Structure 1
Amino acid sequence: MRIPSIPGFDQQALEKYFKNTGWLFVGRIGSLLIKLIVSIKIANYLGRESNGVYIGGTTYIYFFSAIATLGLDQFIVKELHQFPKNRDQILGTSFWMKVFAGLSCIPLIWLAYQIYPAEGTPYYFVLIFSTIGIVQSLNVIDSYFQSEVQSKYIMQVQVAGNLVSAAIKIALIIAEAPIVSFVYAYAFDFLLISIGYFFTYQRKGRNIFNWTFNGKLAKKLLLLSWPLIISGIMVALYMKIDQLMIQNLSGTKESGAYATVASLSEAWNFVPSVIVTSLFPAILNARRDDLNRYKKRIQNLYDLMVYLSLPVALVITFASPLIYKFYNPEYSYAAPTLSVHIWSGVFVFLGAANSQYLIAEGYVKLTFLRTGFGAIVNILLNLILIPKMGMMGAAIATLIAYASSAFFVLFIPKVRQQGLMMFKSLFLISLFQKIIKR
């Protein structure tokens, strides 16, 4: 099958991209579909109030996920590419760094809960979720398979793990299990994936017990990743704080309904990171060889992000009442909120592309300044809008915050041109220019 061409990118490079990342993409889409179906069934079984209590506990782990992962994944892949003979040392060092970070998150999550507890969600739910950071340490094996261009093994583990997880949760629904059972099941999902990675790694002739720790390498990795850790915290804060604020300002029933909106709207947010990460090497080659071609490729990338996200936003906007037919009637009033929230995805797509540009140009500090600005905007607007408008206010706040974060570069003279280029893509100006030229 021939891969469709994308303006500004070589067809041969695209073919290579799809061969290298196709399996991973299939795995994520498969996992996404499984998770969406199961999340709908769980929401229907628990009802709005219990679903709000359940989801409220998960928000804390998102706030600290950047610390638990240490922003290491892309650097692990890079190290494995550069020094393949040091595989056991690189993986071992990264693994133990993530174990320590995961352990460190447990008291931090406790402190966050004491400062701003999720109303109605008991702390022992949050404590169970807190163990996920430690369990995820074996995800360094994911980075290993990426470095070996063997994404099909990642896909197999993810799909198999999600199928087992889905079977467990359906069984819990049939058995009319209490809510705490779903809390344990949620944490067990991550353990399943880690077990899958472990056995797959061992089956391929590798041995996890050969891993070693190197303090010098750990220091090097931390020096590289610390800006991404801070940026990741800011991203998690402005993506998830609305869920917690709704629970505390409007109650668990409203929070339970809004959780369905967020899960449906944010389900596709992995798409831009996969595409951008894969296409950006070709853009960097243009930066080295031809600055005009480099600028055109950046513009084409912004165009592509809009071409992908805009149709999704339009379809979901009009289809949201039909989507909520799959939920119990008590959730149906959330459909208009989904029609607003889904548009934030357009800015997520654009922001993902622009973040890669900022990193490529060495403007790493701008990435967390931008996400920090988005977090502040989101929190302030949530405080104003949620008491007046409930979850619709949270959706509006999220949309404005995402747009503010994406176009924050307009306030910075040295990267203002990128903001103007994103505007051209957003309003399809560059598309019309191409049509006129033809």
Structure 2
Amino acid sequence: MRIPSIPGFDPEAFQKYFKNTGWLMFGKILSLIVGIFIAKFLGPHDFGDLSFATAFVAIIAAVGTLGLDSFVIREILDKPDKRDEILGTSFWMRLGVSLVLVPLSVLIYIFFRSVAEQQGTELTLAITFCASALFFKAFNIIDSYFQSQVRSKFVVKVQNVCLILSSLIKISFVLLKLPLVYFAFALVIDGLMLAVGLVIIYHGENLHIRNWVFNPSRGRALLSKSWPLILSAVMVTLYMHIDILMLKYFAGSTEAGIYSSAAKISESWYFIPVAIVTSVFPAIIHARKTDPLRYQKRLQNLYDLLVIISVPVAIIVSLGADTFIHLIYGDRFEGAGIMLSVHIWSAIFVFLGSASGQYLLAEGFTMISFYRTAIGAIVNILLNIWLIPLHGGLGASIATLIAYLIATFSILIFSKTRSQGIMILKSLFLINIFSVLTGNLKKK
């Protein structure tokens, strides 16, 4: 199957990129299928608790990356002879932060549980397991090395081998009818397997982690550059996961589980805009250096493409949401259909936000990118406080949609990026597409 070409871009390069992302797509699909299988087994209440545990830990874990991944890639490219020092310093910094975040996550939840007057140790144990998986995240620094060498395909293959093994383990847990905590423990196994796999492929390059060294001055230099990205990562994670936490608090585990089942379907294709944007953005950056008019034209073409892909899917899923939920989950997640019919429209703004986010990075507007994410997170939290007590999971879906919309178009606020906001509006209202169609009709 050939993927339609995009005006202004090399079709061969685009086809090659999508062939290379076949393993990535396989992983996403397998993960979705296994996730649905687990959700059906656990049911709304326990699936809601599992979703809460992973979301709760994810927000705290955002600090653990220290915003280093992008800077590690750049530092290795700039100073390849300092590779072991860069990797070693980044690894020990991340591991040290994880040693703090794991007990901190559990203590914060225990405090939260006492305030919310929720008893029981099963969810506390689940959060402990989810948090413990953070120890192994430090080894993801090896992924940054392979990215710097443009050899990410090795990492993707390791990730998918681990995913297959993880899927078999989780399916066996379902067949054995094991309780919730085992599925949280599976995340620890996932982290361990991926860490081992990354070390193996790193050693396969005749490199050794025992050669890594920690340099305090290097660590301070990295942190001085990456702290805005730490804030951004926290805001993005809050933005993505706060709805589950607030649903658990205001409406209970069952409502959180029903909402999570709908969100899992809605968010299952969010990797597509990342794949498209990543594949075409080198050409956009090249045009920025050589031809400003072509640069703007290519950005407009990209926005148009993302709207053409996302809007029809949103319409189809929205109209058939109840049917999709029934076919996928059966009758256990009553009410998820209406949540999905609203939540799926968020994808349009996720797609456009992904493209415009790359534009902000290309132009060096990192603080505007942070402000945009912060605006989205604040709007999402305030709307959830208002809408969840009134409408439960449907309220969270509405809040998510509005927050994504406002965050995407918040670039209209800033004079430096207002022109991009106008371009996105043109794409959203299909102005350029209608102009092309009208022009073609006139020619005929």
TM-score scaled by length of structure 1: 0.92
1:216 CA displacement: 3.0
Cα distance in structure 2, aligned partners of 1:194 and 1:5: 38
Q: Judge conservation of contact 1:8–1:297 (CA < 8 Å) in 2.
A: yes
TM-score scaled by length of structure 2: 0.91
1:108 CA displacement: 4.1
Per-residue CA shift, 1:257-300, capped at 9, x if unaligned?
A: 11111222122223323332343232222222222122112212
From 367, 371, 374, the equivalent of 2:373 is 371
Aligned residue number for residue 349 of structure 1 = 351
Runs of 5+ unmatched residues, structure 1:
none
Q: In structure 1, what residue type is equivalent to 2:153?
A: K
Q: Judge conservation of contact 1:63–1:237 (CA < 8 Å) in 2.
A: yes
Per-residue CA shift, 1:272-329, capped at 9, x if unaligned?
A: 2333234323222222222212211221222222233223323322343333222141
Deviates more, 1:378-387 or 1:262-271: 262-271
Cα distance in structure 2, aligned partners of 1:276 and 1:380: 31
Aligned residue number for residue 9 of structure 2 = 9
Per-residue CA shift, 1:154-212, capped at 9, x if unaligned?
A: 22211111111111111111111121111101232122211111112222322121112
Aligned length in residues: 434
Aligned residue number for residue 40 of structure 1 = 36
State percent identity of aligned pairs.
Answer: 44
Aligned residue number for residue 109 of structure 1 = 105
Q: Judge conservation of contact 1:257–1:334 (CA < 8 Å) in 2.
A: yes
Q: Partner of 1:7: helix, strand, or coil?
A: coil
Q: Judge conservation of contact 1:272–1:305 (CA < 8 Å) in 2.
A: yes
**Structure 1 pair 266–430 and aligned structure 2 pair: CA distance change class (3 A):** same
**Structure 1 pair 3–50 and aligned structure 2 pair: CA distance change class (3 A):** closer
The residue correspondences of 1:137-152 to structure 2 (distance < 5 A) are 137-152=138-153
Cα distance in structure 2, aligned partners of 1:243 and 1:334: 14
Deviates more, 1:100-109 or 1:173-182: 100-109
1:4 CA displacement: 4.1
Cα distance in structure 2, aligned partners of 1:225 and 1:274: 25
> Is the aligned partner of 1:358 residue 2:349?
no
Cα distance in structure 2, aligned partners of 1:9 and 1:112: 49
Q: Partner of 1:213: helix, strand, or coil?
A: coil
Q: In structure 1, what residue type is equivalent to 2:10?
A: D
Cα distance in structure 2, aligned partners of 1:329 and 1:404: 34
Aligned residue number for residue 236 of structure 2 = 235
1:239 CA displacement: 1.4
Q: Judge conservation of contact 1:370–1:406 (CA < 8 Å) in 2.
A: yes
Runs of 5+ unmatched residues, structure 2:
none
Cα distance in structure 1, aligned partners of 2:386 and 2:134: 33
1:85 CA displacement: 3.0
Aligned residue number for residue 57 of structure 2 = 61
Q: Partner of 2:201: helix, strand, or coil?
A: helix
**Structure 1 pair 146–327 and aligned structure 2 pair: CA distance change class (3 A):** same
Q: Partner of 1:413: helix, strand, or coil?
A: coil
Q: In structure 2, what residue type is equivalent to 1:93?
A: T
1:398 CA displacement: 0.3
Q: Partner of 2:109: helix, strand, or coil?
A: helix
Q: Judge conservation of contact 2:372–2:410 (CA < 8 Å) in 1.
A: yes
Q: In structure 2, what residue type is equivalent to 1:105?
A: L
Cα distance in structure 1, aligned partners of 2:300 and 2:330: 43
**Structure 1 pair 288–367 and aligned structure 2 pair: CA distance change class (3 A):** same
Q: In structure 2, what residue type is equivalent to 1:207?
A: H
Aligned residue number for residue 170 of structure 2 = 169
**Structure 1 pair 215–304 and aligned structure 2 pair: CA distance change class (3 A):** farther
Cα distance in structure 2, aligned partners of 1:104 and 1:349: 35
Q: Partner of 1:335: helix, strand, or coil?
A: helix
Cα distance in structure 2, aligned partners of 1:437 and 1:65: 52
1:140 CA displacement: 1.4
Cα distance in structure 2, aligned partners of 1:153 and 1:247: 39
